[in-house]
Amino acid sequence: MFTHRLKILASMLIAIILVEGYTYFSQNPGIIPAQADNIKGLLANIEFPTYNIKKLFTLNFDQTERVGIKPTPTTVDYPTTAPITKPAGLINQTPTIKLCTGQVCLSPTEPINDDLVDFPFEPGDIDNLPGNVPTKPPKPTKAPKPTKTPTPPPITTDLRPGTSLVEIFKEVNKRACFPTALLWAFKTEETGPRFKNDSSSTIKIYNTYGWWITEAGNPCYGYGYYEQTGIVPSDSVNAGSSCLSNPVGNPNDIKIMGLFQISEQEQGVAQKYISSTIPKNDRRVLFDNSLMFAYITKSRVPGSPPSDCNSWPDDVIKMVAEKHHGVCVYDYGNGTKGDYCKEVLDLYKQYK
C-alpha cells in the first residue's frame, strides 16, 4: 500500500515541476544560460522508474500488485506429438547448405569463384553456366541440286538393247531425251506397222549388227534396201536384187534405208552423236536407226531442242517433219500424196 501511494505522489510532483518550469521560463526569457543548463542537467540525471503510463493516470492497477502477490502463470494443456528423433551422428550438428549451379556445388563457407557463378543472373546467363556449351544457330542449308542421271554405258555387243519396239524406243528416249510418241509417229509414217507386233525372236534378228551379212534376216523384210530404187546394196546378201515392184525410181538416189528411212548422208552426220554410244553401227539395225533418227531430228531444231523428253510443241514437230521429208505436201506420182507434216503430228497425238 505504501509503495502504491509513493508512486502517486511522485507522479504529481513531476507534473508540478514541469508546469512551474514552463511558467517560469516563459515569463523570464532572459534567464541566464548557465542556469538553464544546470536545470537541464539536473533533470537529465533524474532516473525515474518505468511505469505503465496508461495505468498511472487511469489508476487501474492489478490487485495483486497492490498487495504484493506475484501472478501465477496459467498452464494450458496442448495435444502432444511424438518426439522428433534426430538420426544418430547428426545431433548438435549444423546442416550444410550448398549452392549448386549447373554441375558445380559451393558451400556457403567456401569462397565463390566469380568465373563459375555470377549473381544475380542476367538474361542469357543460364546458357553460360558450367556444363552448358553455347551452340551457334544452324545456318540454312542450300537446296540440294538434283542428281544427274548417269549416262548409260556404251553398247559394244552386236546385239542391241530391247526385244520389242516398245523397249527399243524406251532405250532411245533414255539416251537421247526424245519422246517415244514422236518415234512411233515417224516410224508409222515411214514404214507402217511392220515390227510393231513381231515376236522377240524376230526383233532379235533385225536388232543385231550384221544380220544382212550373216543371212540371218531378209533384206527386203528388214528394210535393208534402198527405198527409192528398191535395190539391195552390194555389202548385203541378195545384193543387186530388188525388193520393190513399183519403186519411185528417183535417179538421184540418196540410199535411204532402215526403220526411219535414214539416208547415207544422214548416217554420216549422226556419227558425232552416236559413235560414243555405238562405236560400230549401221542404219539397218533397228536400235541404231532409231537412235540416229532421234539425234538428227533434235539437231534440226533451231537453237536448243525442247528440254522435255516426253512432249514437244506442235509447231516444232511440224517443222522437223518438213526437214526430214523435204516438203510437207507431197505427190510421188504413183498415186501416193498427202501432207506429211500434218500426218506426223496427228500420229504423234494419237500415240501420246
Cis omega (within 30 of 0) for bond into 108: no
23, three cell numbers: 511558467
Query: For position 272, what pLDDT does the model report?
Result: 94
Q: Tell me the helix, strand and coil percentages in the chain, rounded to 5.
A: 40, 5, 55
The secondary structure of 265-320 as a DSSP string is HHHHHHHHHHTTT-SS--TTSHHHHHHHHHHHHHHTSSSS--S-SS---HHHHHHH
Instruction: Using alpha carbons only, give the angle 115, 117, 120 rounded to the nearest 5 degrees.
Output: 125
Which pLDDT belongs to residue 61?
A: 46
CB neighbour class for 260 (10 Å; exposed up to 12, middle 13-18, buried from 19): buried
Judging by DSSP bridges, how do beta strands 104-106 and 99-101 pair with one another?
A: antiparallel
The three cell numbers of residue 56 are 498511472
Dist CA 67 CA 61 (whole Å): 11
Q: What's the maximum distance between 2 C-alpha atoms anywhere in the chain?
A: 169
Residue 28 has a pLDDT of 66
What phi and psi, each to the nearest 5 degrees, are found at residue 53? -60, -35
Contact between 150 and 304 under an 8 Å Cβ cutoff? The reply is: no
Of 163, 159, 169, the closest CA to residue 208 belongs to: 159
**Residue 170 host element (H or E):** helix 165-176
Residue 134: predicted pLDDT: 56
Q: Report the distance separating Cα 3 and Cα 6, nearest Å.
A: 5
Supply the pLDDT for residue 59: 47
Q: How far apart are CA 328 and CA 260, in angstroms?
A: 17
pLDDT value for 135: 66
Q: Round to whole Å and give the CA distance between 149 and 309.
A: 13
Predicted confidence at residue 234, as pLDDT, reads 97
Residue 117 pLDDT: 47
Grid cell 539397218 in the structure block, residue: 284
Which pLDDT score, from 0 to 100, does residue 96 have?
A: 52
pLDDT tens digits, the chain, 352 residues: what are they?
A: 667 777 788 888 888 888 777 676 666 665 555 565 655 665 566 565 555 545 544 545 444 444 444 545 555 454 555 554 545 554 455 555 555 555 555 555 555 555 544 445 455 554 555 555 556 777 777 777 766 677 889 999 999 999 999 999 999 999 999 999 999 999 999 999 999 999 999 999 999 999 999 999 999 999 999 999 999 999 999 999 999 988 877 768 999 999 999 999 999 999 999 999 999 999 999 999 999 999 999 999 999 999 999 999 999 999 999 999 999 999 987 788 999 999 999 999 999 9
| pTM, entire model | 0.59
